[in-house]
Structure 1
Amino acid sequence: MSANSGDVEIHSVPKPPSPSNGVKLNKYSCFLTQDKRRGGAQAMLHAVGVTPEDLDKPQIGISPVWWEGNPCNNHLLDLARKVKEGCTQEGLVGLTFSTIGVSDGITMGTDGMRYSLPSRDLIADSIETVVMAQHYDGNISIPGCDKNMPGCVIAACRHNRPTVIVYGGTIQPGVRQVDCPSLGHKKGDNMNIADAFESYGAFAVGKITEEQRLDVVRHSCPGPGACGGMFTANTMSSVLEVLGLSLPYSASIPATYAEKAQECVKAAKYLKRLLELDLKPKDILTRNSFLNAITIVNVIGGSTNAVLHLLAMARAADVDLTIDDFQKVADRTPYLADLKPSGKYVMEDLHKVGGIPALLKYLLNHTDLIDGTQMTVTGKTLAENLEDVPELQFADQDVVRPLSNPIKATGHLMILRGNLAPDTAVAKITGKEGLRFEGIAKCFDSIPPFFTALEKGEITAGMAIIFRYQGPKGGPGMPETAALMGAGLGGKTALITDGRFSGASRGFIIGHVVPEAFVGGPIALVEDGDKIIIDAEKRSIDWLVDEEEQKRRRERWVQREYREKRGVLYRYARDVAPANVGAYCD
């Protein structure tokens, strides 16, 4: 029982594997430490406290995505110290190095958000660089925020050394200190970062006061951990657990629970077993493990960003996965978990009813949606990991619904095509926003004018808000936005963008439009007043402008120059692939 868990039973991290019985560890680092010509390497290792006896031990890179400026990441160095403690106990030499992070929550709605998706590649590049340059035998990564998880996975596939990924954990919900009757909230209600995102929209249109807005801003994030709903971070932590790259319960254990520190200490024992088995990331990641992951994203109502990240991760793992696989899985997968942003609950609530393992056990026992034969970092298959896990019970919880009463009979992720998005767009359709939208386009080529228009009351019901030049090349970096729901427009307007929307977004929202505006996609040619129809049943997104008019507009369209002329964003814009293949840039 965790000291933080109240009177609810919390399932702890599983017991580590049995002793190795003398199985010889694979060694990648020996050329650095045992080749006498490498005396300089040995001297430098001695200088940082590695003893002569340590030179025969496997060297493990420990890579927390640590920095102080974000609750998702500011505790990760403390968790890394727990991982290092576990390495020492297991006779491994743990060597900690850090990498960069970007806070989506802090950069939302600013030019800084353009750096968020590129940070995924910087994380991957930096972990790959250190592990390969230092010839570490394995790696334990500790990610926190949205792009951290796929960055760590892409790195693991590139260096392909035995790897365990420990998610830094979800935040616990904040508590309202002020009544907010206009939005149906009262003092004592739980809230989270999505409320903070939406508070500006609500304030801008006069639905809440400055006092009520500040209450949300000051109390929605009470401490360490990633955003608490089923936003991108918790979506991707769930993906990692189902892919088999993290330990059971890693996805749902809150950052401040004692179990999270225990998981960090135990990770080294599992990594040691991976070394003994020579079990590497590319041995674990298969097409079926990715299909399992897509299934769980649909079951839990996860972020559309999962599409982008899973495609990039699969490519790094040399696994054949296309954007159409997401629709095929969604068509056969029910949406069961009533989690924010569309539902009532947060990740901590899912943990209290058994976490991802209980959900997997239920699906494995009652459907053919999950392939339990897939290998994991425990050295066992997914099904073997679940043998002692209690199955979900429905009599005393409604965080997850039974198969007989889904929130939606099929998945919420939807791949759209049409003359506005010939090469696909990604929608998040939960059923609560309806299945069809017909409206008039209101176009923005950058985000600041949108907020001005919102404040002036120029965004009205029946509009299809077009955010363009926000794609991988045009942004560059596919910046996110989230504001319509707070303004009370989520069910009355649609948001269409070649960029991304926050995992905390809800309503009729269409992102990842390909081709993007920067390369001359149809979204670049839309004008205010054009009619747009989104049909979820047909999976279509149509722009009702005849071909002759489209041709005239295309002839007038002028290719823009890259917004940046040098640096990270220039390189990203120059090299990045389209969103429908994962926006990779290697």
Structure 2
Amino acid sequence: MERKINNFSKKITENPNLPASHAMLYASGLKEKDFSKAQIGIVSNWYEGNPCNLHLDRLGKKIKSSIIIDRDLIGFQITTIGVSDGITMGTNGMRYSLPSRELIADSIETVIDSHHYDGIIAIPGCDKNIPGVMMAILRLNRPSIIVYGGSIPSGRYNGKKLDIVSSFEALGKKNSNQISEEEYKNIVKNSCPGPGACGGMYTANTMASFLEAMGMTLPYSSSYPSTSKEKKKECEKVKDYIKILLERNIKPRDIVTKTSIENGLKLALCLGGSTNLVIHLLAIAKYANINFTLRDFQEISKKVPLIGNLKPSGVFLMEDIHMNIGGMPVIIKYLLNEGILSGNCLTITGDTLSENMKRVPNINFNQKIIYPINKPLKKDGHIRVLYGNLSPEGSIAKITGKEGLFFRGEAKVFDSEEEANKAIINHKIQKGNVIVIRYVGPIGGPGMPEMLKPTSYIMGSGFGKYVALITDGRFSGGSHGFVVGHITPEAQSGGLIAIIRNGDFIKIDAENDTLTLEVEENEINQRKKSWIPPLFKIKKGYLYKYMKTVSSASEGCVTDQF
């Protein structure tokens, strides 16, 4: 007997006591024959003001056109918000970046649940889009697929490949007289040649890779470029798989398990992914009702080698994985064969991860993008959880080993990113300094803004090996250098970072996973007694509501109470 697949929408379409509802559906274009079809919400994070998102409406239309011809499905396109990290970086607008994740999840939940759609096909493009749609999908827990918008092609100038971080680092080079004003402008103009998410292993590509290994996208979704013919074909195929999920009643929480989350984390660590993965993974695990903590993260990171020579710490971009490796499934298959990933996890194809890889070719190591497990770039993970008197609840370090594993230096303290940026640009930072940027956490920021500008200025100025930076804010996936973020408790909540003074010595030990303020306990206690929390920077609007409800970075910065 054929299984009915319109289990949610039938509460409206098959209810004879809802004439107004039916009238509005007719007005929306439905015919009488459509009332028995399963309704699919095709939700994209489309908006024109950001290259990561500006093509998503076209992908959504491609998906809808394929659904229209199916006799059992009907699709409705939906859009939700987005915030461009690249455009808002270094401004007060960046305060909205992480909080936008919650708005995205809330808005998708609102439309899908209120309209009783039977399934979801989500099309995210930028950093917070991806965890935002994933959180909504897990809350709703009805058959769902994610189609990643894909990454941007590389830019080019003077024979060199460029990407978004090239433009940030160019300012540091210009200010240190390494390049001319004309060369600086040409780098900026040529860094982003069209639509798609930032091309390195930054947050968007990190999260897309994570989802593919976790089984929530079709194979190759993370590595197909944004405007490629393969991405268009993926959009055409996705209707067949949403139908499989509906018929078999396979839901997101059947796919997102502790093992599948570990698969996603291991792949992201192998590729040198963004530190933002930590916050998003913790949030996803919470909505999947899975107990996953920073301690779990640390345990896995110690066992997984870094094999991806990808930007920001490496050389290559996601387009190189597509063109020269053969796509993300080639890497996933290699890690399955090496016993790093578990192959028995269910995926949105209806098959297991191993079954999805049967026809995928084996990796060829005649390239410098992905290294063999036995000859890694680093024998363990580059993202480390550091504890100590500065971060008793944890902090996140991005340590590839290129800048060393240990740093001890003299603090230069700033109560805002703007102050720190001015100091770096005006050559007020010396070798051996530990830059401290505080009051930029989830509450203090508010919104935990990213610190790509200061890290890019440091790297562009040639100080990457000689200066460290610690913060209760976040880092962009494009950040690299000797950096530690997500310090909890944050300064606004009275964390020890709030009482650091210029000249204090700070020790970052990535071998023993510690972050230490080298100040006597008596002095620390005296400073704590005299510390007065600053007034909140925001007193109304969405950010005020966010800062009143958000959890700490060590708990995923979620606004629901768990």
TM range (shorter): over 0.9
Show the 5 A alignment for 1:103-114. Answer: 103-114=84-95
Correspondent of 1:525 among 485, 499, 508: 499
Question: Per-residue CA shift, 1:190-249, capped at 9, x if unaligned?
Answer: 110111121222222322221111111100100010000000000000011111111000
Kept after mapping to 2: 8 A contact 1:421/1:513 = yes
Q: Identify which of 55, 66, 75 aligns with 1:86.
A: 66
1:440 aligns with 2:421: no
How big is the shift at 1:439?
0.6
Contact 1:330 1:410 in 2 (8 A): yes
- Using the alignment, how far apart are the partners of 2:221 and 2:414 within structure 1? 40
Q: Any residues of structure 2 matched to 1:237-276 within 5 Å, and which?
A: 237-276=208-247
Partner of 2:46: 66
CA–CA separation in structure 2 for the residues paired with 1:378 and 1:455: 50
Query: What is the aligned partner in structure 1 of residue 430 from structure 2?
Result: 460
**Larger displacement relative to structure 2 (324-333 or 513-522):** 324-333
One-letter code of the match for 2:277? A
Q: 1:583 Cα deviation (Å)?
A: 0.6
* 1:356 aligned onto 2:336: no
The superposition leaves residues 434-486 of structure 1 with CA deviations (integer Å, 9 ceiling, x where unpaired) of 01101100011111112221232101211100010010000011101223211
- Do residues 477 (structure 1) and 457 (structure 2) align? no
The reply on whether 1:390 has 2:361 as its aligned counterpart is yes
Within a 5 Å distance, the mapping from 1:95-174 to structure 2 comes to 95-174=76-155
Gaps of at least 5 residues in structure 2 are: none
Deviation at 1:293, TM superposition (A): 1.1
1:562–1:573 Cα contact (<8 Å) kept: no
Q: Which amino acid aligns with 1:260?
A: K
Instruction: Summarize deviations over 1:358-403 as a string: whole Å, max 9, x none.
Output: 1111111122x21111111000010110111111111x22210011
Letter in 2 for 1:553: R
Q: Which stretch of structure 1 is more off in the superposition, 36-45 or 21-30?
A: 21-30
Taking the aligned partners of 1:488 and 1:46, their CA distance within structure 2 comes to 63
Query: Partner amino acid for 1:502?
Result: S
Distance 1:258 1:578 in 2: 42
Q: Aligned pair 1:418/2:388, yes or no?
A: yes
2:237 matches 1:287: no
Equivalence map 1:255-334=2 (5 Å): 255-334=226-305
Percent identity for Structure 1 against Structure 2: 49
Residue from 26, 33, 41 that aligns with 1:53 = 33
User: What is the CA–CA distance in structure 1 between the aligned matches of 2:398 and 2:335, rounded to whole Å?
Assistant: 22
Contact 1:308 1:579 in 2 (8 A): yes
Would the aligned equivalents of 1:86 and 1:269 in 2 still touch at CA under 8 Å?
Answer: no
Question: The residue matched to 2:387 in structure 1 has which SS?
Answer: strand
- Per-residue deviation, residues 404-442 of structure 1 (Å, max 9, x unmatched): 210001111100011111111001111101011011000
1:487 and 1:38 map into 2 onto residues whose CA distance is: 66
Which residue type is aligned with residue 193 of structure 1?
I
TM-score, normalised via structure 1 length: 0.93
Does 2:345 correspond to 1:365? no
Q: Which runs of 4+ in 1 moved over 3 A?
A: 21-24
Provide the residue aligned with 1:223 in structure 2. 194
1:566 CA drift (Å)? 1.2
Q: List gaps (5 residues or longer) in structure 1.
A: 1-20, 177-186
Q: Distance in 2 between matches of 1:85 and 1:319?
A: 36
Alpha-carbon distance in 2 for matches of 1:151, 1:218: 30
1:559 Cα deviation from its structure 2 partner: 1.5
Q: Distance in 1 between matches of 2:506 and 2:86?
A: 30
**Aligned CA-pair RMSD:** 1.0
1:38-62, CA deviations, whole angstroms, 9 ceiling, x for partnerless residues? 1111100100111111111001001
The answer as to whether partners of 1:31 and 1:38 remain within 8 angstroms in 2 is no
Name the CA distance, whole Å, in 2 between partners of 1:263 and 1:327: 35
Give the superposition deviation at 1:23: 4.5
User: Is the CA contact 1:326–1:413 (under 8 Å) kept in the aligned structure 2?
Assistant: no
